[in-house]
Amino acid sequence: MRPTIEDIAREAGVSTATVDRVLNARAGVHERTRVAVFAAAVRIGYLPAGPGQPGPTSALTFDIVLPAGPNLFMLRLGAEFERQATQRARLALRLQRIEGFEPARIAAALQQLEGRSQGVALSAIDHPAVRDAIRRLTRSGTPVLTLATDIQGVPRIGYIGIDNRAAGRLAGYVMARFLGSGAHKVALLLGSVAYRGHEEREMGFRHVVAEQQGRMDVVNQVEVREDDARAGAVVTALLDEHPDLAAIYNIGAGNRGIAEALERGKRGRDVVFIGHDLNEDTRRYLVSGTMDAVIDQNPRVEARDALDQLERAAMGLGWSAHPIRTQIIFAENIPDEDVDVG
């Protein structure tokens, strides 16, 4: 079905009357709005892209800065950015992966973008060096948005990602329902509290633990720094120290190491295990019963919304993104691999 004026208005974040004025070359429309409307019309296929078509006259160059390493969600997010960038006319995208726990390297990478980028999307730890680099980058005229984990107290244009505190509460609620009545020992594994998103998930989870009034006792909290081997070693030691351990909530990456440790210890079926992000590993552990629930977010939607907002910022338009939906996946509702969730 051919896109409509209503579709253009929704994509550009303007009224249908404004779209009509732009497409019919009527007066009374700011140049930046005119550019945004034509860009949206090309993007959704209402107008063809190519030389001579109306719209932006030069390419937009955006930079995506993500943590390096084996985190499958971040790998999928980066792949989505690259895939979607190829579908947008006049958009040049540069993807950088930087060791996530080295603030000096992140700050140096951002400093290199001053005056060279028209928009930056960033997923990074909340650290003074990173915050200072963001402030300097925005002073140079480059809009910055945060991805998946927020950094507050900086002049970012906005945040694209789930409500991490709500996600932590959801994990606590589901865990309590799985465990049932009585008192239970639970363990909490984090990537790092340097990630604001992880800190917020922990906060939400602990609020639910407190509401349970002693039914859930957090016997261990460890930062595994997104490392499967470290996560597996922590869980093996936990099972030795607490043979009656009832549940594990993993806030970040490391699900493979946790699942393998549970299976080696023959505890895969009796320890409630809740983690984040549906991927090839967590899908397999849900099917086998080693994992009980996965709290998921949609990397396709996050990449799309981030690119949309960077385009709007580059054209001088305001923020129009909506919160990313959080979805919980069990063995019984795992979606097909080719179907987006959220």
> Is residue 214 exposed (0-12), middle (13-18) or buried (19+ Cβ within 10 Å)?
exposed
What local confidence, expressed as pLDDT, does residue 44 receive? 85
With vertex at residue 154, the alpha carbon angle to CA 104 and CA 314, rounded to the nearest 5 degrees, is 100
Residue 1 has pLDDT above 80, yes or no: no
- Tell me whether residue 180 is exposed, middle or buried, using C-beta atoms within 10 angstroms of its C-beta: 0 to 12, 13 to 18, 19 or more: exposed
How far is 219 from 314, CA to CA, in rounded Å?
48
Q: Kindly list the structural domains of the chain, giving each domain's residue range(s) and its CATH number in brackets, ordered by start.
A: 1-57 (1.10.260.40), 60-162+299-324 (3.40.50.2300), 164-296 (3.40.50.2300)
Q: If you search the block for the tokens 């999928």, which residue do you land on?
A: 76
Q: What does residue 85 show for φ and ψ, rounded to 5 degrees?
A: -65, -30
Listed range (84-93, 304-313, 324-333) with the worst mean pLDDT: 84-93
SS3 145: strand
CA distances from 39 to 20, 44, 120 (A): 14, 9, 19
- What pLDDT was estimated at residue 56? 44
Closest by CA to 287, choosing from 255, 332, 331, 256, is: 331
pLDDT at residue 159 tops 80: yes
Residue 220: CA count within 13 A, CB half-sphere? 23
Say yes or no to pLDDT of 233 above 50: yes
Environment class of 27 (CB within 10 Å of its CB; exposed 0-12, middle 13-18, buried 19+): exposed
How confident is the model over 164-180, as pLDDT tens digits? Answer: 999 999 999 999 999 99
Integer Cα distance of 85 and 28 in angstroms: 32
The pairing of beta strand 327-329 with beta strand 293-296: antiparallel
Q: Which DSSP string corresponds to 79-127?
A: HHHHHHHTTSTTEEEEEEEE-TT-HHHHHHHHHHTTTT-S-EEE-----
Residue 48 confidence (pLDDT): 67
Average pLDDT over the chain reads: 91
pLDDT at 51 over 90: no
| Dist. CA 43–CA 90, nearest whole Å | 10
Residue 57 has pLDDT above 60, yes or no: no
> What pTM was estimated for this model as a whole?
0.83
Tens digits of per-residue pLDDT, 316-338? 778 888 889 999 999 999 998 75
Could you tell me the pLDDT band of residue 42, with boundaries at 50, 70 and 90? confident
Flag whether pLDDT at 342 surpasses 80.
no
For the chain, percent of residues with pLDDT exceeding 90: 74
Any idea what DSSP says for residue 217?
E
Give tens-digit pLDDT for 244-273.
Answer: 999 999 999 999 999 999 999 999 999 999
Q: Which residue has the higher pLDDT, 195 or 31?
A: 195
Question: In 39-65, which positions are buried (b, 16+ CB within 10 angstroms) versus exposed (e)?
Answer: bbbbbbebbeeeeeebbbeeebebbbb
